[in-house]
Amino acid sequence: MAAPMNKVCLLPRIRCFTNFRRFQLTHCQRNLTSVAHALVYESYGDPRSVVKIQEQQLPEVSDDEVKVQMIAAPINPADINTIQGQYPIKPTLPAVGGFEGVGEVLEVGHRVTNVKLGDKVISNTATLGSWRTHLVCNSSAVRTLPEGTPLLFAATVRVNMSTAYRLLQDFEDLQPGDCVIQNAANSGAGQAVIQIAAARGVNTINIVRDRPDIEDLRSYLQGLGATIVTTESELRQNEKSIMQDVPKPKLALNAVSGKSCFVLLKQLQPKRTMVTYGGMSRQPVMVPTSSLIFSDIKVRGYWMSRWHEETATDSSVVGTFWPGSLFREVWIGLSVCLPVCLSFIIHALIQLYSKCYIHHQGQDK
């Protein structure tokens, strides 16, 4: 049975950076309404070297525009890939980093009707650029959120939580008692998968990398509702005992690729689906011939940006997701976010790039 889900903060370990009054007073004293600071890259390359803090003059708000103060923005793998020039979405350079985040509307143009002063908003496009203190944009480029939406939920709903929701919704008919297996289980999307699945009574087998603090991570993910938390080496050595209390998975979720696919496919029920939505190892998706011929496994790919693009003007589809359906499925708590400056995001980029990307590439060689 799926583990009971405790009432905990959704994605509390995600790198989420906020810009509150302490930053404003120390960096924007000259003119809070006309000067912004942003993390800009003028060429593609290593995020550790090409991303710089720049001061920007904000234009006057026209009749169809809004001025937004950014409150919080995370770092996602897609953000790093985009800066490297290795992502399908390539913003016009120079560009401001960040696919998602949450902000507050400070000013609205005379013809704007879809948002109002004080609304909390998220980006409605993939290239708005969230790593900045303020921005002025067309009102159609942002989407309002219900009053009281928790900060971390709002800041990460467009990418990680949206991805998790659609992965569980669109590929297999999952019922209470069914099982899903995933790698990168402690990623932002992986943690959301755990919580949404637990809310639906769906078991999750969650594979993470070997690490010294594996028991701490295991306890943390189980607190989110994970049924099983294991490493690839543990699963290879103790497969029977680990898997004995859960059914064979109906769905496999792959964010690593490379040889990690073998572990997922070995556990998957025949005629079921493995969905790839990431490639942290930078290796190809590896599928044994026997999985295709003898197990009739379906191998699919998923890109959240395409879903956003295809449903942008379909109010009936968007209404089933943005954001009520997902919000109702998971109890969301709010952890404390301390004020930080944009230079801290650069520091975090260095940390994440070194620990995640370099580690994964070395692991699969």
Could you give the residue numbers annotated as active site?
A: 87
Instruction: Determine contact, residues 333/150, Cβ cutoff 8 Å.
Output: yes
DSSP state at residue 191: H
Task: Round to whole Å and give the CA distance between 78 and 187.
Answer: 13
Burial zone of 305 (CB within 10 Å; 0-12 exposed, 13-18 middle, 19+ buried)? middle
Under 8 Å CB-to-CB from 321, ≥6 apart: which residues? 162, 165, 166
Q: What is the dihedral of CA 318, 61, 16, 204, to 10 degrees?
A: 0
Q: Where are the beta strands (DSSP E) in the chain?
A: 16-18, 35-41, 51-57, 65-74, 95-96, 102-108, 120-123, 134-138, 142-144, 179-182, 203-208, 228-231, 251-254, 273-276, 298-301
Dihedral sign, CA of 85, 12, 69, 100? positive
* DSSP reduced 3-state for 250: coil
- Rounding to the nearest 10 degrees, give the CA dihedral for residues 134, 140, 142, 143: 150
Between CA 281 and CA 361 the distance in angstroms is: 5
Range list of H helices, 212-259? 214-224, 232-237, 239-243
